[in-house]
Structure formats: structure tokens, C-alpha cells
Amino acid sequence: MQLKALHLGAMALACAVLLAAALPAPHAAAQTTDDAAISSEREAAQVRIQRAVLNIVMFLGDEREREIRGLRSMYGSSALQDFLESQIAWIEEIESGDPRIMYETALRLRDGDGLPQHRDAAVTWLERAGDHGVPEGLFEASRMLLAKPFRDGDVLRSDDLLTRAARTGVAAAQKELARQLASGGARPFRRDRVRERKYREAYIWLLLAHANGAGIGDLDASSKKFLPDEERETARAIVARAVGRNLPLLWPAIEGGAVEHWWDEWRIAVRWEECERAISILTGAAQAGETRAELELARSYRHGVCVATDAAKGLAHNEAAARSGDMRAILLVGFMYYDGRGAPKDLQKARHWFKAAALNLIALSPRQDRRTESLERNLPGADAFRARTIPPELAAEIEWLNEIERGDPRVMYATALRLRDGDGLPQHREAAVALLRLAAKRGVMEANYDLGVMLLDAPRDYLDTADGIRALIEAGDNRFVPAQVELGRRYATGDGVRRRDRSAYGWLLMAEDNGADVAALLEEVGGRLSEDERRSARADAEIRSSHPLRSR
């Protein structure tokens, strides 16, 4: 027993010695703990940077550049600068590469699989992957938005993505769309549609899902409760006609003949050699402002598809598409005149369209160093033109634009006005707006005024209205009297903005103090206000007038 105890004690002593040898000294252990804490803090900081960089995925153009500048100002002087730049480069590489990789990365962001979980970035990249040939991305983005809506519009956006995925042939999306149409679920309906119409649409999508390999047993059986046999037969005939001939679905047969579905009807008419109908569809869509229809009409006349060959009509339709602002159409017409293919060779007209193409680049690529890349993506294909490089005349127009932006802001302002009015330059609203914004940022207060008037007089959406008011206020606060008068007039009459008599009164007071003759309008607006409101508006105007001028 004693020997056994001694033996056990010896073993315990040996283990203790080995354990002591394996463990670091006390100071080494403390050092290891500190290193682990530093490593943990660095990893946490890297995750924060990853999430911040992923936030910029939703932005494009100037907004993205602004967000990136903010990140660089935050981390640019820290030890994490290289990591930040690597993450920005990673995002740009994902977006310029294979859309399948973008799709798979989006799924990893959705699930937190080796990447920070980031819902908005995942949805954005799923949609972009769907737009570049991975339609499953549209369906997955739709499911994400519908699973847990976070903001107004998520359900509507989900509906749009689901419909787009179904139209590209994703069977699961077609089946889900059928389910929502039949149940009146998340998908909002037009109020002018009767309930039976929804069931018929649902049944058509269900048949398409089945044709694409989806199982529909229970849904098909339940449809008999809601659709008469004759409606079911009509739906089967529509789908059989499309699927049996490997043609796109007849969208107007489902959705009431809306103009946005002309493309599918036209393709079917061409495939069935219904030439008169095909040209009629293209003509109607072109008259409705569809640029693609103009281009297809131009191609039909150039190559004699369903009509007699007519180069003059082909050129006219190409120019109509170019005048709508489509970048590819603009370049196509420029190259036609430049190469003398499909149009008489005319370098002066070619330069005109090349200048229009250069101006379009302001909207497509705010950054000068990316404009050539954007231009090359829109060059006409080798099947129509031999030229695949940027000719010197086109490069000269791009450099002219770059010099305007780098030079005197007053010259930039004057050029913007000429573009706005078509004074010796192509009339180009977007380029004029872009140059006015740049001139205003560089201290030309008149540019704020003209920018505000342009955006308010012909807004494209509510953002233009907000930007227009903001630009006028910037000029008005900087004592630019025409802007103060304009703000007073617009607020007093509700011209392009909501009528606000108190705001109108304040701006008109400021304009009058600065020498403007606005007494009649000031009296009219003041008559609609109480004494307290007039006193308050005057106090606000005095506060605004006391602000220091922005340096020019």
C-alpha cells in the first residue's frame, strides 16, 4: 500500500513538473493576455470597418465617393488604413467581376457566413446579380425583403423583384407569385382589378412554374375552387402557346395590354412572321417614348426586317433614340457619321454627337478617371462597326469636358447656361445640372440660383424639388437678391413648392432690405398673416441676414 502511494505521488509530482514546464512564466502569461486583448480589439475594429464599407454598396456615383471620403477621414491615419483600402478594393472587384460571385457573396452576407451579416448590402447585391444574369438573385432579394420588412417600401420592392424573377423564368418565383396572387397576400393589387382576374393570373403563373419543373399539385387542385373550367382552358392555351414555341409569355394576355410589355409581343410577332403587326407594335412603342423601339425600327429599316430597306428612315429612328439621351444610341449615331456606315460620312455631325456623348458621361460617371471605362462599355459592337477604340475626336470632347471642370468655375457656370439653353452647344439638361452643382460648390452663387430654378421648373422627381429649394436657400442666405425674390414668389404662390406665406414674407423682407422692388407682393402676403406671424417672420429674416457670408 505504501509503495502504491509512493508510486502515485511520484506520478503526480512528474505531472506537476511537466505542467509547470508547459505553462509560461507569470510575466509571459500576462504578455500573452495583453496580445490576445489587442488582437481581439483589432478584430472588432476590422468588423466595424467591414460593416461600414458594406454600407457604401447601396450608394452609387457622387454619393459613394462622399461615403468613401468619410471613411478615409475616419480611418486614414490609423493602423487600420490598409485594411480599409483592401475592403474598398474588394467591393469594387466583386461589383466588376462575375455576377455569380456577387450572388454567392450576397448569400454569405445574408447568412453571416464568414462575413458580417448585412441585410441591405445582401439585398442590393442580390438585385444587381439578378440584373446581370443571375435571376435567382432577384428571387432571394424578394424573399429577404418580405421576410422582415424594416422600412416603408420593402413590401413593394419585394413585389417588384418577385415579378422580375418570375418573368426571367425562375420556377420558385413563379410559384410564389402564383401563391400570393391567389391568396391576396403580400403582393398589392390594383384596385380596378376584379378578384377573378387575380385567380386567372395566379393560374397562368402556376402553369409556367410547372413547365419550368416546379411541383404544383396542391395549388393546382385548389385552383379548381376559384376558376371556371373555361378560364382554366384559356390559361392553358396561353401558356402552351408561349412554352410550346419557346417564346416569352404573352404578358398583355395576363396584365391587360400595358405598353411596357410591347417587347414580348413584338418578339412573338417577328417569330411568327407577322410583319405588319410587328412594325405596328414597334411604331406604337416608339411613339410612347420607348428608346429600344426606335433602335429596333432603325435596325429593321437598315437590314430590311419586315420592311423594305430604307437607310434614311433607319438613320432618322437612330437619331430619335439618340435625342432621348440613350448613351448607346448617341454613340451609335456618332459612329455612323464618323465611319460613313448607315449614314453619309460627316465629321461635323459626328463631333456633335460625340460632344453629346461626352456630356452624358457627367451623369454616368461623375469621376473623371472612370469616364473612359464607362464610355468603352457603351461603344457599338463589332458586328455593326469596325471601330472599337475611342477616336481622337471623341477623346478631344472628353478632355474638353475635363478641362471645363478643372478650370475657372465662372467658365464652368457659363458653359452650364449654354448647355441649358442650347446656345452653341447641344441642349443637355443633366450636364447643365451637373456643372451648375460643381460651380456652386466652388463659390459661384449665381449657379445655386440657376440650379434651383432649373430643378424646380422641370423636376424629374421629388429629390429634384428638394435639391432646387436647397440651392435657392443657399443663394438667398448668401445675400443673392434674385434668389431671395424667387423664394418669396414661389412660397407665396405655391409655384413648384408648397405654399408657405410666413416663409414667403420673410424672404421678401430680406429681398426688400437688399434693394429689391417687392412691395406689392410683400403687402399681399402680409395681408394673409396675423401681426404675430409677421413679427415672427421678420425676426427670422433678421437672424438669417446676420449670418456671415459664405466665402467665394
Task: Give the residue numbers spanning the domain of 213.
Answer: 174-257
Contact 252, 246 (CB under 8 A): no
CA distances to 319, 329, 341 from 386, in Å: 20, 17, 10
Q: How confident is the model at residue 12, as a pLDDT? A: 41
**Looking at the domain assignment, is residue 343 inside a domain?**
no
Q: What are the cell numbers at 535?
A: 413679427
**Any domain includes 194:** yes
**For position 466, what pLDDT does the model report?**
85
Any idea of the CA torsion for 304, 308, 313, 315, to the nearest 10 degrees?
Answer: 20
Provide the pLDDT for residue 244: 54
Averaged pLDDT, 14-21? 37
10 Å CB burial of residue 274 (0-12, 13-18, 19+) is: middle
What average pLDDT does range 330-351 have in this prediction? Answer: 87
- The chain-wide mean pLDDT, for the chain, equals 78
Write down the pLDDT at residue 138.
Answer: 92
For cell 477623346, name the residue.
395
Give residue 284's identity as a one-letter amino acid code: G
Q: pLDDT tens digit string along 274-314?
A: 788 888 888 888 888 888 889 889 888 888 888 888 888 98
The pLDDT confidence band at residue 2, using thresholds 50, 70 and 90, is very low
Which stretch of 216-230, 238-252, 268-282 has the lowest confidence by average pLDDT?
238-252
The answer to whether residue 196 is domain-embedded is yes
- Residue 202 forms part of a structural domain: yes
Number of folded domains in the chain? 1
Cell 401563391 locates to 179
The pLDDT of residue 93 is above 80: yes
For 373-386, the pLDDT digits (tens) are 667 666 665 445 54
Nearest Cα to Cα of residue 318 among 307, 306, 329, 327 = 329
Q: Any idea which of 141-155, 248-262, 456-470, 488-502 has the lowest mean pLDDT?
A: 248-262
What pLDDT, on the 0 to 100 scale, is given for residue 7? 41
Task: Tell me, yes or no, whether 252 lies in a domain.
Answer: yes
Q: What is the pLDDT of residues 94-114, one digit of tens each?
A: 888 888 999 999 999 999 998
Q: Is residue 129 part of a domain?
A: no
Q: What SS3 state is found at 10?
A: helix
167 has a pLDDT exceeding 90: no
Examine the pLDDT at 477 and tell me if it is beyond 70: yes
What's the rounded Cα separation, in Å, for the pair 33 and 39? 10
What is the spatial distance between Cα 148 and Cα 355, in angstroms, rounded to a whole number?
47
φ and ψ at residue 267, rounded to 5 degrees:
-60, -40
Query: Where is 552: in which H helix or E strand?
Result: none
pLDDT of 271: 60
pLDDT digits (tens, 9 = 90+) for 125-137: 999 998 888 989 9
- Tell whether the model's pLDDT for residue 272 goes beyond 70: no
pLDDT(46) > 70 = yes
**6-15, 376-385, 515-524 — most confident range:** 515-524
For residue 225, being part of any structural domain is answered with yes
Percent of the chain whose predicted confidence (pLDDT) is above 90: 12
Is residue 362 assigned to a domain?
no
Asked if 545 contacts 512 with a C-beta cutoff of 8 angstroms, the reply is: no
DSSP string, 310-337: -HHHHHHHHHHHHHTT-HHHHHHHHHHH
- Mean pLDDT highest for which of 207-211, 247-251, 306-310, 544-548? 306-310
In the chain, count H helices and then E strands: 29, 0
pLDDT band of 365, cuts 50, 70, 90: low
